[in-house]
Amino acid sequence: MKALCWHGKNDIRYDTVPDPSIEDARDAIVKVSSCAICGSDLHLYDHFIPGMEHGDVMGHEFMGEVVEVGADTKRLKVGDRVVVPFTIVCGECEQCRRGNFSVCERSNRNKALGDKAFGHATAGLFGYTHLTGGYAGGQAEYVRVPFADTTHVKVPDSLSDEQVLFLGDIFPTGWQAVVQCDIQPTDTVAIWGAGPVGQFCVRSAVLLGARQVVCIDRVPERLSMAAAGGAITIDFDEESVLERLEELTHGKGPEKCIDAVGLEAHATRSLDSMYDRAKQAVMLETDRPHVLREMIYVCRPAGVLSVPGVYGGLVDKLPFGALMNKGLTLRTGQTHVRRWTDDLLRRIEEGQIDPSFVITHTVGLEQGPDMYRVFRDKLDNCIKVVLKP
């Protein structure tokens, strides 16, 4: 079959690889109808996340049709149309039973590696680092889905691929980022990053009733999409983020702050960002935490910081004194996708939101390697790429 494979920094190739097969009785094989490039795929593309190997199949946002099931797979049958969450979940371990699906204790087959890197391993993820199991991803014609009975969302034929595809990652990721802020009707929510996850944070914050939603970026077309979703926008190249947020909150600061940027912040005009880039170049720091620093500084005391943006390793010069003294709550984590999808699917079916608004490019899988470049470099007004195998 054809697939997009990782071959080193900035080197994604459209390869021919062996078809997947059932390896465990709880597996299913899904024929991919649509998949997407996620912002966190770019961290692999830029090689900021360790634990990748040559030939790894990329992609963790995908959906399709079940074409084969293992003997112990009971809730799926051949022909079912499914979206596959990016977090692989057993559904039986203590964490899964508590709804903490992204830290499933059984699905990471490289648990020892994950334990060494993070103290305790997290769930297995599709198309990501070997620290999270090294499972083949969904930017391919076919995918093997482990723990298939619990790692799927059945979707009705009445909805298009484009309407449901993002249930696998970015919609629940934006939703969870806002939910864990515990939005109150009096809240100002400041969201750093108007990429796809930031866009879903904006819409989730509006739906969940935030008084005021502010989105911070510098890419004009992304800011225009954020404004369309109900956000007041701040272009950090044009104005001071701190001053504008103070003005919008009458000098009190936003109660809730969301980092939808992660480890590759691009605040080129700030001194701390230049410092991060220099340290990163000589391998003294892995992540660029400009957004975390800004959020901690600007957030209203007793406020909440939510971090859906991906971090991979070590950060430097984090103002932890401010975080502690201001009594801020910091909530992080990969998304417990399956925890939110039934509710979000209902909201899509009811017409509350149509997630396809974020798609700017739809191309064949063979154009995937070049679309990584286009997406990463923000060329051609690209915000979200959907690939069709």
Partner 1 sequence: MNHPHTSATSSLATADRVARGLGYFSLGLGLLELASPRLVTRSLGMEGAEALVRAAGARELLTGLGALGVNPTPALWGRVAGDALDLATLASGLSPDNPKRDNVKAAMAVVLGTALVDAMAARALSERHVRPRHGYIADYSQCSGFPRPAAAMRGEASDFETPADMRADIGSGPRPAPVPIRLSDTDQ
In the three-class reduction of DSSP (H, G, I as helix; E, B as strand; rest coil), residue 82 is classed as strand
Contact between 176 and 154 under an 8 Å Cβ cutoff? The reply is no
Q: Which CB atom, from 224 or from 240, has the smaller least distance to partner 1? A: 224
Q: Which CB atom, from 121 or from 353, has the smaller least distance to partner 1? A: 353
Contact between 296 and 245 under an 8 Å Cβ cutoff? The reply is no
Identify residues 10-49 at the interface with partner 1 (CB under 8 A).
10-18, 45-46
Contact between 186 and 250 under an 8 Å Cβ cutoff? The reply is no
Burial of 33 (0-12, 13-18, 19+ CB in 10 A): middle
Residue span binding partner 1 (CB under 8 A) among the ranges 59-67, 152-160, 213-221, 289-297? 213-221
Identify residues 161-180 at the interface with partner 1 (CB under 8 A).
179-180
Identify residues 228-287 at the interface with partner 1 (CB under 8 A).
228-233, 250, 255, 264, 281-282
**Which two structure tokens, joined as six digits, stand for 29?**
């094989």
- Single-letter amino acid, residue 151: T
Question: Which region holds residue 172: left if phi is over 0, alpha if psi is between -120 and 50, else beta?
Answer: alpha
Identify residues 64-123 at the interface with partner 1 (CB under 8 A).
98-99
* Dist CA 363 CA 36 (whole Å): 10
Identify residues 292-321 at the interface with partner 1 (CB under 8 A).
302-304
Minimum CB separation of residue 319 from partner 1 in Å reads 19
Which contacts of 350-355 are long-range, i.e. CB under 8 A and separated by 24 or more positions? 352/207, 353/203, 353/207, 354/163, 355/162, 355/163, 355/164, 355/165, 355/166, 355/167, 355/171, 355/200
Q: Which CB atom, from 32 or from 57, has the smaller least distance to partner 1? A: 57
Determine, following the binding rule CB under 8 A, whether residue 181 of this chain makes contact with partner 1: yes
Determine, following the binding rule CB under 8 A, whether residue 53 of this chain makes contact with partner 1: yes
Given 33, 270, 362, 381, the residue binding partner 1 (CB under 8 A): 381
- Single-letter amino acid, residue 106: R
Residue span binding partner 1 (CB under 8 A) among the ranges 54-62, 68-76, 77-85, 310-318? 54-62
Strand partners, 68: 29
Given 105, 182, 316, 349, the residue binding partner 1 (CB under 8 A): 182
Determine, following the binding rule CB under 8 A, whether residue 213 of this chain makes contact with partner 1: yes
Q: Which CB atom, from 31 or from 347, has the smaller least distance to partner 1? A: 347
Given 84, 265, 353, 386, the residue binding partner 1 (CB under 8 A): 353
- Give the E-state strand segments of the chain in sequence order: 2-6, 12-16, 28-37, 56-57, 61-69, 81-84, 87-88, 124-125, 142-145, 153-154, 188-192, 212-217, 232-235, 256-259, 304-307, 329-332, 361-364, 385-388
Determine, following the binding rule CB under 8 A, whether residue 331 of this chain makes contact with partner 1: yes
Q: Which CB atom, from 53 or from 92, has the smaller least distance to partner 1? A: 53
Residue span binding partner 1 (CB under 8 A) among the ranges 32-40, 146-154, 205-213, 312-320? 205-213
How many residues bind partner 1 (CB under 8 A)? The answer is 86
Minimum CB separation of residue 122 from partner 1 in Å reads 17
Determine, following the binding rule CB under 8 A, whether residue 377 of this chain makes contact with partner 1: yes
Given 113, 136, 265, 292, the residue binding partner 1 (CB under 8 A): 136
DSSP state of 216: E
By DSSP bridging, strand 28-37 and strand 153-154 are unpaired
**Which two structure tokens, joined as six digits, stand for 55?**
């030939």
Q: Which CB atom, from 128 or from 192, has the smaller least distance to partner 1? A: 128
Given 21, 160, 224, 325, the residue binding partner 1 (CB under 8 A): 224
Given 329, 349, 362, 363, the residue binding partner 1 (CB under 8 A): 329
- Candidates 354, 363, 364; CA nearest to 382 is 363
